[in-house]
Structure 1
């Protein structure tokens, strides 16, 4: 089931994207897409329709909050997990109001990613019963 999920990783840091992707592959996710800013993330969501998006908040061109808003309007069923190295409560609150599924703190560990994937899978299984 995990291999069937599609995941978009959006972060302006190539190093962080690679860490996410390596963790996702270790977990068993095979359909992984990348974006380096919010604009690319919105376009990727239009084309690929991922099940899950890991979305950085602070990025050039279009930040994660603006991208979240567009992604949620286009595909409200997509689970968007906001990721940030800051603990700003304003970002967290705004993300929740705009439909973010969850919020994670950087640096991200594989166990946190695994927990989120398992939670999404469990909810998907429960919804299909």
Structure 2
């Protein structure tokens, strides 16, 4: 079981991810609605895995990945993106994200990415 932080500006998408992850036995320790909150909450909660949306207000997901990785170079981050954000996904992976999942979410792919990120 992993401790997970879900980051997305859309509450219904956070809820969808939470249902998938909790249903598989993981614990969602915190959620954030933008990249700035994500960085602050990562430092406070130190989750095993972060699911990080790419496009958000205040601070974009890629910038949040860079900041979290500065704080913790071993951070396990899985990016979440809409179809058609290929360049941003590439930038996120180059910035240290371990994997990515696309919206709409498929539970098997979400769990595969999370498990791969933490080496399960």
Q: Which TM-score band applies after superposition, normalised by the shorter structure?
A: over 0.9
Determine the structure 1 residue equivalent to 2:16. Answer: 19
TM-score normalised by length of structure 2: 0.93
Determine the structure 1 residue equivalent to 2:35. Answer: 38
Larger radius of gyration: 1
Three-state SS of the structure 2 residue aligned to 1:69 is helix
5+ unaligned residues in a row in structure 2: which ranges? Answer: none
Distance in 1 (CA, whole Å) between partners of 2:24 and 2:3 is: 13
Aligned-pair RMSD on alpha carbons? 1.4
Structure 1 residue ranges, 4+ long, deviating more than 4 angstroms after superposition: none
5+ unaligned residues in a row in structure 1: which ranges? Answer: 125-129
TM-score normalised by length of structure 1: 0.86
Higher helix residue share: 1
1:62-73 → structure 2 map (5 Å cutoff): 62-73=59-70
Distance in 1 (CA, whole Å) between partners of 2:88 and 2:114 is: 22
1:48-59 → structure 2 map (5 Å cutoff): 48-59=45-56
Please say if residues 72 and 78 of structure 1, whose CA atoms lie closer than 8 Å, have aligned partners that are also in contact.
yes
Please say if residues 6 and 50 of structure 2, whose CA atoms lie closer than 8 Å, have aligned partners that are also in contact.
yes
Matched, 1:87 2:84: yes
Distance in 1 (CA, whole Å) between partners of 2:15 and 2:97 is: 23
**2:115 counterpart (114, 118, 124):** 118
Distance in 1 (CA, whole Å) between partners of 2:84 and 2:72 is: 27
Shift of 1:31: 4.1
